[in-house]
């Protein structure tokens, strides 16, 4: 699956690209991140790009196309990729078509995130103010002044791509002012409608997520088995206590038996003697009277 995300700066292309990467297991090819990495590394291309980006301009096409061509050839991009921030112009789109044709690859969909420019400017102003209050460093290309220039460049150079891809029946427009999760669901529906995603593969991804639930359920017996040793220990402690009590009783009983048993023995013997005497007496008397 190969997708292009279109939209003005701050429209949420980077956020949606990351969510698509997590959901479909494809690679995000962000020219902005690749160029910023070159700037951080201090390479000649990075230094040149730094001056251009600081002024709100665009990096030359030959540099960007060369970076993308090398990135597509890497193994992790075989399953698909998302182009974020490229193409920006019709000549770049034509160069990308030639590049993909040369590599025998097909572009599946172009998603446009349409937003309100005035709302974007207010968002950037708020974000920059909050970063400065926290003492964080603000990127030179992430200020309201630079954004104003970039929005003007987008209108003049990138908006023609909407017509370019619309003629090729690749374009799908989505309201980028919706909540993030709503935008994500809308993109998914469009990809299904365009055939960029197979329903079977989507069902497989849902099935793969299912074992995670069953795994959590299977983990419950482990808790029960973990509780069993504790219960066994309590039972053992109770049995020890009962054994101690029984031992104490036997000891007390052993101490008391010499005195008590002697007294009880005398009393029992006396009672037996009385009973025997009372039983024998009447019988002997009746026998003697009968003889007489």
* Residues forming the active site: 13, 88, 127, 139, 150
SS3 73: coil
Sheet holding 81-84: strands in order across?
Answer: 27-30, 81-84, 2-6, 109-114, 171-175
Decide: 175 and 187 in contact? Cβ < 8 Å: no
Report in angstroms the alpha-carbon separations of 191 from 92, 128, 133, 208. Answer: 23, 34, 41, 20
How many Å apart are CA 233 and CA 246, to the nearest integer? 20
Q: Cα-flanking dihedrals φ and ψ of residue 177, to 5°?
A: -85, -5
Backbone dihedral angles phi then psi of residue 245, each to the nearest 5 degrees: -65, -45
C-alpha span between 234 and 229 (Å, rounded) = 9
DSSP code at position 196: S
Q: In degrees rounded to 5, what are phi and psi of residue 43?
A: -70, 160
CB-CB contact of 125 with 18 (8 Å): no
Using an 8 Å Cβ cutoff, are 118 and 47 in contact?
Answer: no
């Amino acid at each position: 699956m190969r997708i292009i995300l279109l939209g003005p700066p701050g429209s949420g292309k980077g956020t949606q690209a990351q969510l698509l990467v997590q959901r479909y297991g494809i690679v995000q090819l962000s020219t902005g991140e690749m160029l910023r990495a070159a700037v951080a590394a201090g390479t000649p291309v990075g230094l040149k790009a730094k001056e251009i980006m600081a002024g709100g301009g665009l990096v030359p096409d030959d540099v960007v196309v060369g970076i993308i061509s090398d990135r597509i050839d890497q193994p992790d991009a075989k399953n698909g990729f998302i182009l974020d921030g490229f193409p920006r112009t019709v000549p770049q789109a034509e160069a990308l078509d030639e590049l993909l044709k040369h590599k025998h690859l097909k572009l599946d969909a172009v998603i446009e995130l349409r937003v309100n420019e005035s709302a974007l400017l207010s968002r950037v102003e708020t974000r920059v103010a909050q970063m400065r209050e926290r003492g964080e460093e603000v990127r030179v290309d992430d200020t309201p002044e630079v954004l104003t220039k970039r929005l003007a460049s987008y209108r003049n150079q990138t908006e023609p791509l909407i017509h370019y891809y619309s003629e090729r029946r690749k374009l799908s427009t989505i309201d980028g002012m919706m909540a993030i999760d709503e935008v994500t669901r809308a993109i998914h529906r469009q990809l299904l409608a365009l055939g960029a995603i197979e329903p079977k593969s989507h069902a497989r991804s849902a099935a793969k997520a299912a074992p995670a639930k069953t795994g959590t359920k299977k983990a419950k017996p482990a808790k029960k088995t973990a509780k069993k040793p504790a219960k066994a220990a309590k039972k053992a402690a109770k049995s020890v206590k009962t054994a101690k009590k029984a031992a104490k009783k036997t000891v007390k009983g052993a101490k008391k038996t010499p005195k008590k048993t002697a007294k009880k023995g005398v009393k029992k013997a006396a009672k037996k003697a009385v009973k025997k005497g009372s039983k024998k007496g009447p019988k002997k008397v009746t026998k003697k009277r009968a003889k007489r």
